[in-house]
Homo-oligomer: A and B are copies of this chain.
Amino acid sequence: MARVRVGVNGFGTIGKRVAEAIMLQPDMELVGVTKTKPDYTAKYAVSRGIPVYVPKESLEEFQAKGIEPAGTIEELLEKVDVIVDATPGGTGRKYKPLYEKAGVKMIFQGGEKADIAELSFSTLCNYEQALGKTSLRVVSCNTTGLLRAICSISRLAPVRRVRATIVRRAADPKEIKRGPVNAIKPDPVKTPSHHALDVKTVLPDLDIVTMAVVVPTTLMHVHIVYAELEKPVTREDVVATFESTPRILLADASYGLASTAELVEYARDLGRKRYDIPELIVWLDSIAVNGVEVMWMQAVHQEAIVVPENIDAIRAVAELAKTAEETIRITDERLGLLKGRIP
């Protein structure tokens, strides 16, 4: 079978990770990525053998910095079956007409409004619905984290209600803009936060409310989740369900994995590139069950969690795998994702 040809528009936090993940897949070929500025990541891409496509008017600017572009963005679109849009939030909408003109399938990110694509996508929740679609939107990092946990637990009993707190990192590690240095900032101060609305783009009937605060840290988000199921379950049920769900890892705090900083140190000790943690981390110790009520705390690595879902989204639009199980098997093996318990 010919490999599906994929381009990645944007080579920032998400784009570079998705591009490198595509290179590891047996059924995909990374045709190239785009860059609008000749910065160090453009050089990095070239040094890794990744063709870099640039705006026509920037060709000379790149050449002047010693970076030889493989062509223009329009030329990239001519060569691919699927484009992953990893441009900054809201920018995908500007590119969409260009993608449509080229007749390529499109994967957008959670920073775009839900109506940009035919379906908001989360592998564990709606992979089969996404098969063969022309456009998908991979929901954001926090929403991906919430959906993985909710759709995992749904295997036990339908989820009736979720009330969750999102404790957000202030900025990604590389960002040097000013954020809260010594404050807790409700963001937004209005209830609910957009995360609940975003979850409903995938699970429209779920009764979910979220509130979010931003705190002075860069490593990971943390969610505190209060959920209610349609029937009573036991703690053992919940632990076993999370434990057997791909892309969810149960962390045992008693081994010194009791904070986001220690989870990141663990990923560094594993030798993971950029200390990426694409798995959703659920703290084993935090899981508490009271009849129909299930409560837990989880951590989301904002830079990495959506990468596997982007790969699955490519496979869905290109119909390279017929089931969620099948795409997860390939993606997770190639990206080295863990499941079960750590350490």
Partner-B contacts on A (CB < 8 A): 163, 165, 167, 169, 180, 182-186, 188-192, 209, 211, 213, 215-222, 224, 226, 253, 258-262, 283, 285-288, 290, 295-297, 299
- Which partner residue on chain B sits nearest A222 by CB separation? B184
**Which of B188, B192, B213, B261 contacts A183, CB < 8 Å?**
B261
**Which of B183, B186, B221, B226 contacts A253, CB < 8 Å?**
B186
Assembled-state Cα–Cα distance A8/B285 (Å)? 40
Assembled-state Cα–Cα distance A226/B262 (Å)? 29
Q: A192-B288, A209-B288, A286-B189 are in contact. Are A217 and B165 (CB under 8 A)?
A: no
**Which of B184, B219, B287 contacts A182, CB < 8 Å?**
B219
The list of the 6 closest CB pairs from A to B, nearest first, reads A183-B261, A191-B288, A185-B259, A215-B215, A165-B165, A189-B253
B186 A297 Cβ-Cβ under 8 A: yes
Q: A165-B224, A216-B216, A217-B216 are in contact. Are A258 and B186 (CB under 8 A)?
A: yes
Assembled-state Cα–Cα distance A190/B283 (Å)? 9
Q: Of residues A220, A260, A262, which shows the largest number of chain B Cβ atoms within 10 Å of its Cβ? A: A260
Assembled-state Cα–Cα distance A224/B288 (Å)? 19
> A287 contacts which chain B residues (CB < 8 A)?
191
B259 A184 Cβ-Cβ under 8 A: yes
Assembled-state Cα–Cα distance A295/B165 (Å)? 11
> A183 contacts which chain B residues (CB < 8 A)?
217, 219, 259-262
A216 B213 Cβ-Cβ under 8 A: no
B165 A283 Cβ-Cβ under 8 A: no
B297 A189 Cβ-Cβ under 8 A: yes
> A218 contacts which chain B residues (CB < 8 A)?
182
Can you pick out 17 interface pairs between chain A and chain B where the beta carbons lie within 8 Å of each other? Answer: A163-B163, A165-B165, A165-B224, A167-B213, A184-B215, A184-B220, A184-B260, A186-B286, A186-B297, A191-B287, A191-B295, A191-B296, A192-B288, A209-B295, A211-B295, A213-B222, A215-B216
Q: A186-B297, A192-B288, A216-B217 are in contact. Are A259 and B180 (CB under 8 A)?
A: yes
* Extra contacts besides A186-B297, A189-B285 (19): CB < 8 Å: A163-B226, A165-B167, A182-B217, A182-B219, A183-B217, A183-B219, A183-B260, A185-B261, A186-B259, A186-B286, A189-B253, A189-B286, A189-B297, A191-B288, A209-B290, A211-B286, A211-B297, A215-B215, A226-B226
